[in-house]
Structure 1
Amino acid sequence: MTDLSTAPTRTEQGRTLGVVALGTFLALLLFTTPMPQLGALAVALGAGPAAQTWVLSSMSVGLAAGMLVTGVLGDDHGRRRVFAAGAVVVALTSLLSVATTSSLVFVLARVGHGLGSAALISCGLGMIGHTFPAGPARVRATGVWGASVGAGIALGPIAAALLADWRLPYLVTAALGALTALATRAVPESTSGDKRRVDLPGAVLLGSGLSVLLVGLVTGRSGWTRPTAVVALALGVALLVAFAAVERRSPAPLLDLGLFRRPDFVAVTVAALATGLGVIATMSFSPTLLIRGLGEGPVAASLGVLLWSGTSVPVALLARRLRWSGDVQLAVGLGVVAVGLLLLLDPSGVWALLPGFFVCGLGSGVLNAALGRQAVASVPAGRGGMGSGANNTARYVGSAIGVTVFAVIAARPTPQGVVSGWEAANVVTAAFSVLGAVGVLLCLRRSRA
């Protein structure tokens, strides 16, 4: 096991970055796989409209509930250990997705995908923070991490659309999960050096609070006055308030609330939340626009996501050449994304949408690299898992809220209604992106005061 005083070798750095990139790619591949499959899944599993909503939303529940918990567990008890456990969970729940004929079991497997992927993402960034010292080496490494995010998002939908059977992508992710777990044996273990007791009350309150809140958001799409939605939303908020109260008194908190007094931590958290509320929400709905609004097939419906996220891959790798600070990159990335979202306001056909997808990809590439970099830089040394977990929790809670807002505005019964709803919803997501950029700049101004 290594500690913060041991300088990793170049070989250890290369192996760590390769394994983390593979795990991150796998997590995002799995996240986007169901987007073009929904029709085939609905038929095969007998999933009605409510079940289809849960197919698309359930992995976000696992991600949000598990991200901070797994990140802190990794910091305190071994990042490689928790990362490898996440890969095993992904492999097993992928096999469950292949084997089931029940929509309920499939949704539960998707929650498992989220829990396993949470460990891959949060501990992966924590491993980068430990292995690569602050400076150019870490900037390059977080650029690779951001590129792996984009690559997973880009390839998930197109691979799922091209494969003949909807079960085949989950056989692929099961194999990749097993490979990732085995590959961790080549990576040194690391911890923060401060082995604290597990904050069980905080973990239970945060995980249950976020899960119940997301249940309320998902069920609310079919009626905000339904008792299930009202009770879930109220209970979720109450549990999160209780979490904050417990963390203020805990000697070893799951989330150090004092971090919110740091402008750089607040800035990267705001940027992650705005990313989920904005571009992720739009891209999550884009296959629905292309299939139900414009009458395209699954392969064509995946092209928008492919162009958006495929563009972000080289941009994330090249972002290290930008001579701006990480916070400035966050603000610029969100601003470029907002421009791209406004370019999507003319959904007259696939070709008319491509410029908007491309510009969104430019902004997302800068964002992905900067989010990874600042998530680690904005927390104390040795707490990279906590920083990554908090940041990605904000991203996926934001995406859950953003997708809900987008669906409420754009989910209409007719193709013309879907198109007009898409236009209105994109104005909202662009506004979220602009507000995020403004929030980051305000934090930057405060840090320089």
Structure 2
Amino acid sequence: MTADLQDPTNVATAKSPNPHLVLASVLLAALVLPLSFTGGAIATPAIGRDLGGTATELTWITNAFMLTFGSLMMTAGALADQYGRKRIFVGGVALFVFFSVALTFAASVAMIDLLRAGQGVGAAAALAGGSAAIAQEFEGHARLRAFSLLGATFGLGLAVGPVMVGWLVEMFGWRSIFMAGAIIGALALVFGAPRMRETRDPDAVGLDWPGVVSFTGLLSLFTFGVIQAPESGWISPLVIGSLSGAVALLAVFIVVERRAARPMLDLGLFRYPRFVGVQLLPIATCYAYVVLLIVLPLRLVGVEGRSEIDAGLLMIALSGPMVVVPWLAANLTRWLSAGVVAGVGLVIAAIGLLWLGAVPAGANLALVPPILVIGFGAGLPWGLMDGLSVTVVPKERAGMATGVFNTTKVAGEGVALAIVSAALAGLTASNLRSAGAADRVGEIAQRVATGDLPHAAALAPAFDRAALIQSYLGAFQQLTWGLSAITLVSAIAAFTLLGRVKGEP
């Protein structure tokens, strides 16, 4: 999303006949994105039971989507500016629908991984093109309301997604969740495309291809290395080579962006301490909240053996606050600075994470209070960070700042998920070794961490299911300690860097 929301050259004089139908189309497309995010996690145990697949392949069901979605956000925004916002939006939604339909016919987990990566490409184009299109249809307070609705739609998708996905999986099987996404995407095309006008940035000079390739490559190599590590080992040539390649491409990306006439990422923005502080907020919410949208359903369904519907109902306590808490956060900035509100929210989330780690397996109502606390705490910075992304830099740099922020948010989710998945598998493996396991510990631990308990038990006949579950729960508690520590450090950064910054009204 690189369209400059403050640049009048980006706004055509003629508006669409009914801009509210354009907005409704973009909102429909936006609704399906969080459904795709949470849907893959809840469906993973069912996919594993049906199609088998290695532990690494099962991990990629979600990570493949997040990798392409996050790494291509800025690219899609630049393409929308140059070739047309409507064209990129329509093409993105069409790609998403195509890959969603193809997923309903997938015959292997490896094929699902590839198709999920394709889904992520479509999602990036749809969100970047759709957001830029909204910016052209509305001005002033109407534009702010439109983007607030876009954020609320994401919150609604996160809130209802787990229940909807759980019901679909239990009633019609895991393939139905992808067909549901295809239907919603098709509706967005039918209602929106005929009513959208085409707009471009007349000053667009082309795409920063060296930046695109190096950025996508470094994210891909880093994610692959982290996900592969539990199976191959952190010191294996494959993992070391992947992580070293990611570092090398990071250096290349920095050099390229410094020399580019119109870079994909203006590194000069990082001279503003408050801008750095804003980038830390989505990273913090990734570790305090977003990763739980994936890890917690795997625990509830795959490890504890709950039904998908029961897991979805429990997840409402985590995602439900995102519907109302961001509105509360915006109102609190009348009396408190945005940094204080965000920092307090992160402290609350950190407390909830510690509480969650202490909940034993099989607990029902005991799970609700801690995840409700996490959802409430994370909702406070979540409701402020989009507005802050354009208020902490000079007005003329707001467009680039928005693009960087959205890339940080989405790409950070994919990176955080890869790190947390690897950490959970590694901690589980350590607990299994302490309990006496010796053979294929890495693979067994990774199976448990992805919710594939039946195959894990088959690989470890000397351990009963209770021992495997106990090893996982110990690892889960250790993981929540680490997530809580990251969240508290982020809270301190929010107080320090953003303590005097006012939020968007």
Residues 255 and 193 (structure 1), Cα distance of their counterparts in 2 relative to 1, 3 Å cut: same
What's the CA shift for 1:10? Answer: 11
Within-5 A mapping of 1:30-429:
30-133=36-139, 137-163=142-168, 164-182=172-190, 183-222=192-231, 223-322=233-332, 323=334, 324=336, 326-348=338-360, 349-378=363-392, 386-411=400-425, 412=428, 413=445, 414-429=468-483
Distance (whole Å) between structure 2 residues aligned to residue 12 and residue 332 of structure 1: 41
Distance (whole Å) between structure 1 residues aligned to residue 350 and residue 17 of structure 2: 40
Consecutive unaligned residues of structure 1, counting only runs of 5 or more, are none
Letter of the aligned partner of 1:47 in structure 2?
A: G
What's the CA shift for 1:13? Answer: 5.5
Distance (whole Å) between structure 2 residues aligned to residue 6 and residue 197 of structure 1: 20
Distance (whole Å) between structure 2 residues aligned to residue 340 and residue 226 of structure 1: 36
* Cα displacement string for residues 18-58 of structure 1 (whole angstroms, at most 9, x for unaligned residues): 33322221111111112221222123333121211111321
Residues 317 and 65 (structure 1), Cα distance of their counterparts in 2 relative to 1, 3 Å cut: same
* Cα displacement string for residues 257-289 of structure 1 (whole angstroms, at most 9, x for unaligned residues): 111123343222111112223321233211122
Distance (whole Å) between structure 1 residues aligned to residue 395 and residue 194 of structure 2: 24
Distance (whole Å) between structure 1 residues aligned to residue 162 and residue 346 of structure 2: 24
Does the 8 Å CA contact 2:85/2:133 hold for their aligned counterparts? yes
Does the 8 Å CA contact 1:327/1:374 hold for their aligned counterparts? no
Letter of the aligned partner of 1:290 in structure 2?
A: L
* Cα displacement string for residues 167-199 of structure 1 (whole angstroms, at most 9, x for unaligned residues): 111111112222223314323444444222111
Residues 429 and 10 (structure 1), Cα distance of their counterparts in 2 relative to 1, 3 Å cut: farther
Residues 309 and 383 (structure 1), Cα distance of their counterparts in 2 relative to 1, 3 Å cut: farther
Letter of the aligned partner of 2:212 in structure 1?
A: A
* Cα displacement string for residues 133-184 of structure 1 (whole angstroms, at most 9, x for unaligned residues): 56x5555444322222222223333222212221111111112222223314
Distance (whole Å) between structure 2 residues aligned to residue 435 and residue 126 of structure 1: 34
Residues 388 and 97 (structure 1), Cα distance of their counterparts in 2 relative to 1, 3 Å cut: farther
Letter of the aligned partner of 1:410 in structure 2?
A: L
What's the CA shift for 1:253? Answer: 0.7
Distance (whole Å) between structure 1 residues aligned to residue 352 and residue 135 of structure 2: 31
Does the 8 Å CA contact 1:292/1:415 hold for their aligned counterparts? no
Residues 74 and 364 (structure 1), Cα distance of their counterparts in 2 relative to 1, 3 Å cut: farther
Q: Structure 1 vs Structure 2: percent identity of aligned residues?
A: 30
Distance (whole Å) between structure 1 residues aligned to residue 241 and residue 287 of structure 2: 23
Distance (whole Å) between structure 2 residues aligned to residue 50 and residue 415 of structure 1: 20
What's the CA shift for 1:409? Answer: 4.1
Cα RMSD for the two superposed structures: 2.9
Distance (whole Å) between structure 1 residues aligned to residue 373 and residue 143 of structure 2: 26
Q: How many equivalent pairs are there?
A: 447
Instruction: Name the TM-score, length of structure 2 as normaliser.
Output: 0.80
Distance (whole Å) between structure 1 residues aligned to residue 391 and residue 53 of structure 2: 44
* Cα displacement string for residues 193-220 of structure 1 (whole angstroms, at most 9, x for unaligned residues): 4222111111111112211211112112
Give the stretch that moved more between structures: 308-317 or 72-81: 72-81
Residue aligned with 2:235, SS: coil
Letter of the aligned partner of 1:441 in structure 2?
A: F
Distance (whole Å) between structure 1 residues aligned to residue 193 and residue 274 of structure 2: 31
Distance (whole Å) between structure 1 residues aligned to residue 178 and residue 397 of structure 2: 33
Give the stretch that moved more between structures: 406-415 or 27-36: 406-415
Q: Which has the larger radius of gyration?
A: 2
Residues 127 and 332 (structure 1), Cα distance of their counterparts in 2 relative to 1, 3 Å cut: farther
Give the stretch that moved more between structures: 372-381 or 91-100: 372-381
Distance (whole Å) between structure 2 residues aligned to residue 189 and residue 366 of structure 1: 36
